[in-house]
Amino acid sequence: NAGVMQNPRHLVRRRGQEARLRCSPMKGHSHVYWYRQLPEEGLKFMVYLQKENIIDESGMPKERFSAEFPKEGPSILRIQQVVRGDSAAYFCASSPHPPGGFEQFFGPGTRLTVL
């Protein structure tokens, strides 16, 4: 059973461009979470999605950021008009059930660098 997959692993964008980060959860997992990690800092919750639904987006900036998890295909985290402060590692995790009582499996992350 393949693990959580994220692509690209590294992404370089210039200020003002768009960044699209993809996450394919483990087979059978319908719950997906996105986290942002700045260098030498902890994991900041951004958004929790279940197939076709956003369950909790309380950690996501209200402007420029959006996330989706369509019925078919990977989950997408989209950042429009990127700024230097968006440079970070973005991790996706998945689980077969809501996270409170179950392990989350993390992907390898996408390192976003904004020039």
Partner 1 sequence: QQPVQSPQAVILREGEDAVINCSSSKALYSVHWYRQKHGEAPVFLMILLKGGEQKGHEKISASFNEKKQQSSLYLTASQLSYSGTYFCGTAYNTDKLIFGTGTRLQVFP
| DSSP assignment letter at 73 | S
Taking CB under 8 A as the rule, does residue 109 contact partner 1? yes
Restricted to residues 88-107, the positions that interact with partner 1 (CB under 8 A) are 91, 98-107
Taking CB under 8 A as the rule, does residue 83 contact partner 1? no
Nearer to partner 1 among residue 85 and residue 100 (C-beta) = 100
Beta strands per DSSP E along the chain: 5-7, 10-13, 19-24, 31-37, 43-50, 53-56, 65-68, 75-79, 88-95, 105-106, 110-114
Nearer to partner 1 among residue 18 and residue 41 (C-beta) = 41
Restricted to residues 12-71, the positions that interact with partner 1 (CB under 8 A) are 33, 35, 41-45, 48, 55-56, 59
Measured CA to CA, the distance from residue 39 to residue 79 in angstroms comes to: 19
